[in-house]
């Protein structure tokens, strides 16, 4: 039930309000400001009824204290007819309402009920807002990091506009997912979403692919073809890897973007389209412009609203929820061991989210039982994330400190030996120790040369 705090020094008023409001919530009583502050410290009230005139400090003093402590409970001021001016001052300081003594009981009960309902609604709105801020999934994308939450909010704002968007980021960061989210959240969501990978289409075919062609326009054009731009009419055209476009096609695309008009290859008839352009690139287009590889006017035409996706190595807090989402999608019920999770979080992910997804698929294919362990992951991931994996096992209490140190030293020595094809002399030199010390460590840690030769 809501908690209601009555602050009044008159016992008759205290009892009257206790009886009146017991059906509305749990009623606590305080006879002065200090007692009221002790009640607030015990439990934050949902509503306060406050007398302004009391022995010692006044109700205005309490309002100031509540404000300093960040207490946002609504306050109904109880005032005599000769202190109405003080009640007005209390309203200026944040009180929600006031009633004059002697007060009408039913009217006061209605005020209390309305304020409590408003308070409950505000808390629900705040809770939902916090859920939005804390969400890890948005339009098919996963992210709990601050940078991804900011991108989610930016996508929501951009989607409502019609501006052209340029999404930049390394390969595998999810640029097409962002483009689809912009489309799905926009007023064009009922129209088509047409994606074109400009880097995957041969240079001699890209113009026809984008603009279409008429029958007989060139050798092999046996019938009319509708291009991707025309197909996207009423929706969104996603130009992935736009930096790969041939300069001649860039000229024609610029006109299509400026005028929303184009001609099919082999035709002089101008066609108009109503579409939104979202482009993406893994290149530094500003540098490409400076080097003469990309038209400056086209660059400014597509770079109206930029969205930059960070690489996965710069948002490591997203690795775990991403990995768990890939596992959940597989539906096998398998989970990652702390060692495997440590390897995933310690790896640099040059292939970004796409590489992480592949690593999970690799682990699912090789693992036995209901867990994916470190050795089930790709070698590059398991080896690179070894230190973080060992630290995670130690944190979880799965390994003692001594075991962790031994395992870490074993992995370092084994990796060094493998890198030098198990030649102990070269390995010892690389490690800055003598061959004798290396051999003693190998014997102590149980590391055996698979070739049985040691120094060949």
- Per-residue pLDDT of 256-304, as tens digits, reads 999 999 999 999 999 999 999 999 999 999 999 999 999 999 999 999 9
Pick from 369, 142, 386: nearest CA to 377 = 386
Give percent of the chain with pLDDT exceeding 70: 92
pTM of the predicted protein model = 0.60
The reported pLDDT for the residue numbered 361 is: 96
124 and 167 in a single domain? The answer is no
Mean pLDDT of 10-32: 92
Dihedral sign for Cα 287, 291, 296, 298, please: negative
CATH code (residue 68): 3.40.50.2300
Most confident of the following: 79-83, 188-192, 404-408: 188-192
Domain boundary among 100, 130, 160: 130
Mean pLDDT of 215-226: 89
Mean pLDDT of 121-141: 68
Instruction: Say if residue 166's pLDDT is above 90.
Output: yes
Instruction: Say if residue 136's pLDDT is above 70.
Output: no
How many domains is the chain built from?
A: 3
**How does pLDDT run across 91-116, given as a tens digit for each residue?**
888 899 988 888 888 889 999 999 99
Instruction: Say if residue 456's pLDDT is above 50.
Output: no
**How does pLDDT run across 376-397, given as a tens digit for each residue?**
998 778 655 566 556 666 776 7
235 and 286 in a single domain? The answer is yes
Residue 357 binned pLDDT confidence (cut-offs 50, 70, 90): very high
The reported pLDDT for the residue numbered 55 is: 86
Mean pLDDT of 410-416: 81
Instruction: Say if residue 132's pLDDT is above 60.
Output: no
CATH code (residue 201): 3.40.50.300
Residue 35 binned pLDDT confidence (cut-offs 50, 70, 90): very high
14 and 75 in a single domain? The answer is yes
The reported pLDDT for the residue numbered 18 is: 92
171 and 195 in a single domain? The answer is yes
Mean pLDDT of 204-228: 91
Instruction: Say if residue 17's pLDDT is above 50.
Output: yes
**Pairwise CA distance, residues 76 & 99, whole Å:** 7
**Pairwise CA distance, residues 288 & 310, whole Å:** 20
The reported pLDDT for the residue numbered 192 is: 97
- On whether the CB atoms of residues 143 and 151 are closer than 8 A, the answer is yes
- Residue range(s) defining the domain that contains residue 404: 314-445
CATH code (residue 397): 1.10.8.60
The reported pLDDT for the residue numbered 386 is: 60
**Pairwise CA distance, residues 343 & 391, whole Å:** 10
The reported pLDDT for the residue numbered 341 is: 86
Q: Does residue 76 belong to any structural domain of this protein?
A: yes
| Buried b or exposed e, range 285-321, using 16+ CB within 10 angstroms | beebbeeeebbeebbebbbebebebbbbeebbebbbe
Residue 334 binned pLDDT confidence (cut-offs 50, 70, 90): very high
Q: Does residue 288 belong to any structural domain of this protein?
A: yes
The reported pLDDT for the residue numbered 446 is: 86
The reported pLDDT for the residue numbered 203 is: 84
Mean pLDDT (the chain) is: 88
**How does pLDDT run across 147-158, given as a tens digit for each residue?**
998 999 899 999
Domain boundary among 110, 130, 150: 130
Residue 273, CA atoms < 13 Å, CB-side half-sphere: 29
Q: Is 263 helix (H, G, I), strand (E, B) or coil?
A: strand
Domain boundary among 308, 331, 349: 308
Map 322-364 to HEC letters: HHHHHHHHHCCCCEECHHHHHHHHHCCCCCHHHHHHHHHHHHH
Instruction: Say if residue 82's pLDDT is above 80.
Output: no
The reported pLDDT for the residue numbered 382 is: 65
125 and 150 in a single domain? The answer is no
Instruction: Say if residue 454's pLDDT is above 90.
Output: no
Instruction: Say if residue 65's pLDDT is above 50.
Output: yes
Mean pLDDT of 68-73: 85
């Amino acid at each position: 039930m809501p908690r209601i705090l009555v602050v009044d020094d008159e016992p008759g008023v205290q009892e009257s309000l206790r009886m009146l409001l017991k059906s509305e919530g749990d009623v606590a009583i305080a006879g002065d400001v200090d007692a009221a502050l002790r009640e607030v410290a015990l439990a934050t009230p949902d509503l306060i009824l406050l007398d302004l005139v009391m022995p010692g400090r006044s109700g205005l003093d309490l309002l100031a204290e509540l404000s300093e402590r960040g207490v946002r409970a609504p306050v109904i001021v109880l005032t005599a007819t000769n202190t109405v001016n003080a009640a007005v001052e209390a309203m200026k300081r944040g009180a929600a309402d006031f009633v004059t003594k002697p007060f009408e009981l039913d009217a006061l009960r209605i005020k209390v009920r309305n304020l409590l309902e408003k308070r409950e609604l505000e808390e629900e709105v705040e809770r939902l807002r916090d859920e939005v801020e804390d969400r890890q999934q948005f339009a098919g994308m996963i992210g709990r990091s601050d940078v991804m939450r900011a991108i989610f909010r930016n996508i929501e704002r951009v989607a409502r506009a019609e501006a052209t968007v340029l999404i930049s980021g390394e390969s595998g960061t999810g640029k097409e997912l962002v483009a689809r989210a912009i489309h799905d959240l926009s007023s064009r969501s009922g129209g088509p979403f047409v994606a074109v990978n400009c880097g995957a289409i041969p240079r001699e075919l890209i113009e026809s692919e984008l603009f279409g062609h008429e029958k007989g326009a060139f050798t092999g054009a046996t019938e009319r073809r509708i291009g991707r731009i025309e197909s996207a009419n009423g929706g969104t055209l996603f130009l992935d890897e736009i930096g790969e476009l041939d300069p001649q096609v860039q000229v024609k695309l610029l006109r299509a973007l400026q005028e929303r008009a184009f001609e099919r290859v082999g035709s002089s008839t101008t066609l108009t389209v109503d579409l939104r352009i979202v482009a993406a690139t893994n290149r530094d287009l500003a540098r490409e412009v400076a080097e003469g590889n990309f038209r400056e006017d086209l660059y400014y035409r597509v770079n109206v609203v930029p969205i930059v996706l960070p690489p996965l190595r710069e948002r490591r807090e997203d690795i775990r929820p991403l990995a768990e989402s890939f596992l959940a999608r597989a539906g096998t019920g398998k989970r990652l061991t702390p060692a495997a999770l440590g390897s995933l979080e310690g790896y640099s992910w040059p292939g970004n989210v796409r590489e992480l997804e592949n690593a999970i698929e690799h682990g699912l294919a090789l693992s036995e039982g209901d867990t994916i362990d470190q050795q089930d992951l790709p070698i590059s991931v398991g080896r690179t994330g070894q230190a973080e994996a060992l630290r995670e096992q130690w944190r979880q209490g799965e390994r003692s400190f001594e075991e962790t140190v031994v395992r870490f030293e074993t992995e370092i020595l084994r990796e060094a030996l493998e890198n030098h094809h198990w030649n102990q002399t070269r390995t010892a030199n690389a490690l800055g120790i003598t061959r004798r010390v290396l051999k003693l460590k190998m014997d102590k840690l149980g590391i055996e040369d698979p070739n049985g030769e040691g120094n060949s």
